C-alpha cells in the first residue's frame, strides 16, 4: 500500500489530498507527467538482495520498461542498517543530499522499490505531493520536475534505478529550504503505520 499526501506549497496546514488508493494516486499524478504503477511483489527476494538476484527476479518487468522508455542503464541501489560503524554517518550524508530540493535537466528519476520504503516530494504547480513508496511501487519523476527525496533517519530500502544517460544521477539544487517546512519521512511513516494498524 502506498500513500499520497498533497498540500499547498504554503505549508502542511493546508492539506489538499490524502489517499492510499493506487488508482487514485496514479490518476492524481498523471497530469504532472509522473508515472506511478505497481509491479508484482516477489516474496522470495530478500530485503537486502544483491543486484543479480534482483535482476533475475524482475527481469521481465525491467525489459518491458526499457522497451517502452528507452533506458540505457539500470542498476540496483541498496541501503540498509548494518554493523558497519560508518553506516550512520554514510546514511546521514546520503539523506541530507537528497533532502535538498532539486531538479534533473537530462534525465527522469525512475525508481522501483524492491524492499523498504522512501518518500518522493514533488513540488509542482503551487503544491507539494508526498508519495510514500513501498515494496512493489514504481515512480517515474519527469526531468525538470522540482522535488526531493527522504529515506528517513534509519534508511532501509533496495531500489532499481533506471537512466537514459550513462552519467546517472545529476542534481541541480534550487537552494530552497522548502523541504524543512513539510513533514519528513519519519513523521509520515509513523502516521502511515498507525493507519494501517487500525484499518
CA distance readout (Å), 54 to 50, 59, 76, 148: 6, 8, 8, 25
147 is in an annotated binding site: yes
CA distance readout (Å), 49 to 44, 55, 148, 149, 159: 10, 10, 26, 22, 10
pLDDT tens-digit map of 94-115? 899 899 999 998 889 999 999 9
CB atoms within 10 A of CB 83: 5
Rounded distance, CA 96 to CA 150, Å? Answer: 8
129 is in an annotated binding site: no
Lowest mean per-residue pLDDT among 61-70, 157-166, 182-191: 157-166
pLDDT tens-digit map of 153-165? 999 999 999 998 7
164 is in an annotated binding site: no
Range of the domain at 22: 3-198
- Band the pLDDT of 194: cuts 50, 70, 90: confident
- pLDDT for position 1: 66
Rounded distance, CA 193 to CA 125, Å? Answer: 29
Contact, 87 vs 170, CB < 8 A?
no
- pLDDT for position 24: 97
Asked if pLDDT for residue 48 goes beyond 80, the answer is yes
Asked if pLDDT for residue 199 goes beyond 80, the answer is no
CA distance readout (Å), 31 to 9, 34, 150, 152, 164: 17, 7, 23, 28, 22
pTM of the model: 0.94
Q: What is the mean pLDDT of the chain?
A: 93
109 is in an annotated binding site: yes
Asked if pLDDT for residue 170 goes beyond 70, the answer is yes
Of 82-91, 93-102, 129-138, highest mean pLDDT: 129-138
Q: What is the mean pLDDT of residues 27-39?
A: 97
Q: Which three cell numbers stand for residue 131?
A: 508519495
- Band the pLDDT of 140: cuts 50, 70, 90: very high
3-state DSSP of 46-84 = CCCCCHHHHHHHCHHHHHHHHHHHCCCEEEEEEECCCCC
Asked if pLDDT for residue 69 goes beyond 80, the answer is yes
DSSP 154: S
- Band the pLDDT of 193: cuts 50, 70, 90: confident
- Band the pLDDT of 188: cuts 50, 70, 90: very high
Number of domains in the chain: 1
- Strand-pairing partners, residue 172, are 103
Contact, 78 vs 116, CB < 8 A?
no
Q: What is the CATH number of the domain that holds 130?
A: 2.60.120.10
Amino acid at each position: 500500500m502506498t500513500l499520497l499526501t498533497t498540500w499547498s506549497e504554503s505549508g502542511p496546514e493546508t492539506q489538499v489530498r490524502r489517499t492510499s488508493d493506487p488508482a487514485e494516486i496514479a490518476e492524481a499524478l498523471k497530469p504532472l507527467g509522473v508515472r506511478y504503477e505497481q509491479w508484482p511483489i516477489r516474496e522470495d527476494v530478500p530485503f537486502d538482495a544483491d543486484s543479480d538476484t534482483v535482476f533475475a527476479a524482475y527481469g521481465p518487468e525491467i525489459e518491458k520498461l526499457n522497451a517502452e522508455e528507452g533506458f540505457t542503464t539500470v542498476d540496483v541501489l541498496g541501503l540498509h542498517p548494518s554493523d558497519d560503524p560508518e553506516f550512520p554517518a554514510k546514511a546521514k550524508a546520503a539523506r541530507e543530499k537528497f533532502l535538498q530540493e532539486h531538479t534533473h535537466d537530462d534525465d527522469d528519476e525512475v525508481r522501483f522499490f524492491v524492499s523498504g520504503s522512501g518518500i518522493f516530494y514533488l513540488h509542482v504547480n503551487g503544491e507539494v505531493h508526498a508519495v510514500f513508496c513501498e515494496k512493489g511501487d514504481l515512480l517515474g519523476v519527469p526531468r525538470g520536475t522540482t522535488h526531493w527525496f527522504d529515506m528517513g533517519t534509519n534508511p532501509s530500502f533496495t531500489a532499481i534505478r533506471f537512466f537514459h544517460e550513462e552519467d546517472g544521477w545529476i542534481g541541480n539544487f534550487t537552494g530552497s529550504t522548502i523541504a524543512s517546512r513539510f513533514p519528513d519521512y519519519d513523521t509520515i511513516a509513523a502516521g502511515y503505520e498507525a493507519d494501517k494498524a487500525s484499518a
